[in-house]
């Protein structure tokens, strides 16, 4: 599930055949009502987003779960939204058009989850391992009174935040660093490679709304929410911006815990995933992508007066 940096004309070129099997890319948006789904990772009860999407695919394709091999690009946490999640699956069928299966999948999904695009992909494509970078947005409503229409996907901060200090602090995150201090994990759990590259971290002010945009090669468990939480404390002027490099250098999660806890999940949204361009190039004769199907009326059934 996800949004890539490709243009619609480029997306229409995706096609693949893998030893008689066809591989497809799904780009979906799952607007999660806060805490309604316990994240993406497959789990039958309570059902996760992956579980629900797989069941819809099974109904639409008549294939078993082990045949589809659905793989997601990012494991979003409980309560985190995703406009740009990406996933791929495999099918033995060669479809003439993708619109029918696209409509079938969405018809079996709850209103909180939608497949926005369905495209064929090359054999080398992998939703997770072909990704070059991911972009997350975290939204903070910085006003004394919260806008009730934004309460499900925007965090409310009634403290007046110093945006300049937050921008100064965000610059310390940019570059290649060991983010062990910003990952949630117990002592018994082994972290994956904690060294990540952050290419940009912008703090954008839009009236009362603050949008924190971060792009990186990858992120550790709850890394973005922990970085945002520290920036929020800096914005409240509880701690100075130059605390960031000190916490990074400690490589110790307990050091961050002295100043803040993770920001709530509902303000975070996975916006897009950028992919290796070599895995996106396909012949002009391939199937076209499906972006959904509009309903049409052949003739007006109401009489004119």
Q: How far apart are CA 144 and CA 20, in angstroms?
A: 60
What pLDDT is stored for residue 257 in this prediction? 94
8-129 matches 131-269 in fold: yes
Which CA distances in Å does 7 have to 92, 254, 280?
28, 43, 11
pLDDT of the residue at 65: 85
Lowest-pLDDT choice from 160-169, 177-186, 233-242: 177-186
Could you tell me the pLDDT band of residue 21, with boundaries at 50, 70 and 90? very low
Quick one: three-class SS letters along 178-247?
Answer: ECHHHCCCCCCCCCCCCEEEEEEEEEEEECCEEEEEEEECCCCCCHHHHHHHHHHHHHCCCCCCCHHHHH
- Note the CATH number of domain 8-129: 3.30.70.580
pLDDT by residue (tens digit) across 141-160? Answer: 999 999 999 999 999 999 99
Whether the predicted pLDDT of 48 surpasses 70 = yes
Q: Give percent above pLDDT 90 in the chain.
A: 45
Tokens representing 25?
Answer: 């890319």
Q: Which two tokens stand for residue 274?
A: 């950028």
Q: Is residue 82 within 8 Å of residue 32, measured between CB atoms? A: yes
- Taking residues 272-277, what's their average pLDDT? 89
Peptide bond into 46 cis (omega under 30): yes
Q: Which two structure tokens, joined as six digits, stand for 38?
A: 């316990």
Whole-angstrom Cα distance, residue 131 to residue 127?
A: 7
Contacts of 235 (CB under 8 A, 6+ apart): 157, 159, 161, 162, 163, 165, 166
User: Looking at residue 189, what is its pLDDT?
Assistant: 53
Cross-strand bridge partners of residue 155:
140
Q: What is the pLDDT of residue 18?
A: 28
Q: How far apart are CA 199 and CA 178, in angstroms?
A: 14
For residue 277, the 8-state DSSP code is G
Give the per-residue pLDDT at 292. 73
Pairing relationship of beta strands 113-120 and 175-178 according to DSSP bridges: unpaired
Q: Where are the domains of the chain?
A: 8-129, 131-269
Does the annotation place 136 within a ligand binding site? yes
Lowest mean pLDDT among 72-86, 92-106, 274-288: 274-288
Alpha carbons within 13 A on the beta-carbon side of 27: 25
Most confident among 51-60, 103-112, 219-228 (mean pLDDT) = 219-228
CA 126 to chain centre: 16
Mean pLDDT of 270-282: 84
Structure tokens that stand for 124 in this block: 């080398």
Confidence band for 169, pLDDT divided at 50, 70 and 90: very high
pTM of the model: 0.83
What's the mean pLDDT in 274-302? 71
Give the DSSP letter of residue 256: H
Cβ-contact 157, 142 below 8 angstroms: yes
Q: What is the mean pLDDT of residues 72-95?
A: 85
Catalytic site residues? Answer: 77
**Domain 131-269: assigned CATH number:** 3.30.70.660
Contact 120, 281 (CB under 8 A): no
- pLDDT, mean of residues 134-142: 97
Residue position matching structure tokens 């310390």 = 172
CA-wise closest residue to 138 among 2, 270, 273? 270
Do residues 137 and 245 touch, judged by C-beta distance below 8 A?
Answer: no
Give the mean pLDDT of the chain. Answer: 82
CB atoms within 10 A of CB 44: 8
Q: Which residue has the higher pLDDT, 140 or 187?
A: 140
Which region among 66-75, 170-179, 244-253 has the lowest average model confidence (pLDDT)? 66-75
- What average pLDDT does the segment 265-294 reach? 80
Which phi and psi angles does 42 have, rounded to 5°? -55, 130
Q: Is the pLDDT of residue 184 over 60?
A: yes
**Which uninterrupted H or E stretch holds 68?**
helix 65-68
């Amino acid at each position: 599930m996800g949004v890539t940096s490709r243009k619609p004309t480029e997306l229409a070129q995706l096609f693949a055949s893998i030893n008689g099997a066809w591989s497809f890319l799904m780009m979906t948006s799952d607007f999660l009502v806060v805490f309604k789904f316990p994240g993406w990772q497959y789990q039958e009860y309570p059902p996760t987003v992956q579980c629900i999407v797989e069941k819809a695919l099974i109904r639409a394709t008549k294939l078993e779960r082990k045949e589809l091999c659905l793989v997601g690009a990012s494991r979003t946490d409980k309560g985190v939204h995703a406009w740009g999640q990406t996933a791929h699956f495999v099918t033995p069928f060669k479809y003439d058009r993708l619109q029918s299966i696209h409509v079938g999948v969405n018809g079996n999904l709850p209103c909180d989850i939608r497949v926005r695009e369905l495209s064929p992909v090359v054999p080398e494509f992998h939703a997770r391992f072909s990704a070059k970078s991911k972009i997350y947005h975290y939204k903070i409503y910085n006003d004394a009174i919260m806008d009730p229409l934004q309460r499900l996907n925007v965090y409310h901060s009634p403290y007046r935040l110093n945006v300049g200090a937050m921008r100064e602090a965000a610059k310390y995150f940019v570059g290649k660093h060991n983010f062990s201090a910003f990952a949630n994990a117990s002592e018994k759990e082994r972290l994956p490679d904690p060294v990540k590259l952050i290419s940009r971290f912008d703090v954008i002010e839009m009236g009362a709304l603050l949008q924190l945009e971060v792009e990186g090669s990858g992120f550790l468990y709850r890394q973005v929410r922990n970085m945002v939480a520290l920036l929020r404390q800096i914005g409240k002027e509880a701690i100075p911006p130059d605390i960031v490099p000190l916490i990074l250098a400690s490589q110790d999660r307990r050091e961050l815990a002295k100043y803040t806890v993770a920001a709530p999940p509902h303000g975070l949204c996975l916006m897009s995933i950028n992919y290796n361009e070599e895995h996106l190039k396909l012949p002009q004769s391939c199937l076209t992508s499906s972006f959904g199907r509009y309903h049409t009326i052949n003739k007006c059934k109401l009489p004119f007066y």
